[in-house]
Amino acid sequence: MTAAFTFPGQGSQAVGMGKALADAFPAARAVFDEVDAALGEKLTAIIWDGPAETLQLTENAQPALMAVSLATLRVLESEAGVSVARDAAFVAGHSLGEYSALAAAGALSISDTARLLRTRGRAMQKAVPVGVGAMAALLGLDYDTAVAIAAEAAQGQVCGAANDNGGGQVVVSGNTEAVDRAVEIAKGRGAKRAMLLPVSAPFHCALMQPAADAMAEALAGVTINAPLVPLVANVLAAPIISPDEIRRRLVEQVTGTVRWRESVTFMAGQGVKLFVEIGAGKVLSGLVRRIADGAIGTAVGSPNDIAGVKDAIAAARAG
């Protein structure tokens, strides 16, 4: 049985995440200390003590989620003998989780990743004035239908598929009026539910081009190494290892669709049966089980999860 390591995206954050790991394991604490030093501030105080509305700010949530994922991975390495190079056929992450995946696979340093995500969060927030853009979840429709609805709703504005999450869940993003139209059209096309999401900006659509430009500049200034194992890129749903291509696809990702359903389908088609979600929450584990028949999705983000995930990875290693 083959394993893949996956890393969660924005929305999985919660005040207090990662604190039990940091309290119990020096390897986890070291990651949080490194992130604080890289940012020149105590992000850990916000992660562990809140308030929630401050943690939810995009510029904080993105590096915070990465910090929890990498702290969790370091504990898996030190306490469970887990090795990305040996135990993972692929790494993949949902949106910002792609940066966590690259740090986990040694393509980016933790310090550079923290600074990149702080830049990314600020740039995505600034790209579109509040109220101009929106996102909505269309549930119970396949991807092609959702894309057609978004195209019909655009009417000269921006409206497109931002996330193809799988399990009949597609998120559309764009100008507020166009997204409102998409919600109404979807309700008439048999969607189980169609609802606006409580987000601060319209991520993963053409309105994010200023943020993509900012990330192109930021990424040009950091060292990217070939990852220990291939990254299944959001915008391709296919594996990449070239540092130059990684840099290019991370820029494209800001305005492009997160092709999560296809990414999981690809990995399952390559023999992956165990998907280990590393970090906060269990969103990706739930999606995996709805996308790939027979796949095992397991999440690790607290000390209580370590033993079970160690056993699951050992079983995968043994085949």
Question: What tens digit of pLDDT does each residue of 125-170 get?
Answer: 999 998 999 999 999 999 999 999 999 999 999 999 999 999 999 9
Question: What tens digit of pLDDT does each residue of 197-241 get?
Answer: 988 899 999 999 999 999 999 999 999 999 999 999 999 999 999
Quick one: 44 and 160 in the same domain? Answer: no
CA 187 to chain centre: 28
Active site residue 95: yes
**Max Cα separation, the chain?**
55
Which residue in the list 69, 204, 263, 285 is annotated as catalytic? Answer: 204
Quick one: 17 and 66 in the same domain? Answer: yes
319 pLDDT above the threshold of 80: no
Which is higher by pLDDT, 175 or 11? 175
Which residue in the list 95, 173, 263, 285 is annotated as catalytic? Answer: 95
| Strand segments (E) across the chain | 2-7, 90-93, 133-139, 159-166, 169-175, 193-196, 231-233, 238-240, 272-278, 296-300
pLDDT of residue 19: 98
Respond yes or no on whether the N-terminal peptide bond of residue 210 is cis (omega within 30° of 0): no
Quick one: 39 and 140 in the same domain? Answer: no
CATH number, residue 143:
3.30.70.250
Q: What percent of the chain has pLDDT over 90?
A: 96
Select from 118, 197, 204, 95 the least CA-distant residue to 160.
204
Active site residue 94: no
pLDDT of residue 200: 83
* CA end-to-end distance (rounded Å), the chain: 4
Select from 108, 125, 122, 127 the least CA-distant residue to 35.
108
The H-or-E segment that residue 105 falls in is none
What is the spatial distance between Cα 132 and Cα 12, in angstroms, rounded to a whole number? 25
Average pLDDT of every residue of the chain: 97
The string of DSSP letters for 219-247 reads: HHTS--PPPSS-EEETTTTEEE--HHHHH
Domain span at 299:
2-126+208-318
Quick one: 229 and 269 in the same domain? Answer: yes
1 pLDDT above the threshold of 70: no
Bridge partners, residue 195, by sequence: 137
Label residue 52 by pLDDT band (50, 70, 90): very high
| Strand segments (E) across 152-234 | 159-166, 169-175, 193-196, 231-233
What is the spatial distance between Cα 102 and Cα 92, in angstroms, rounded to a whole number? 8
Domains in the chain, number: 2
CATH number, residue 285:
3.40.366.10
pLDDT of residue 234: 98
Structure-block tokens of residue 216: 């192109």
Quick one: 146 and 187 in the same domain? Answer: yes
13 pLDDT above the threshold of 90: yes
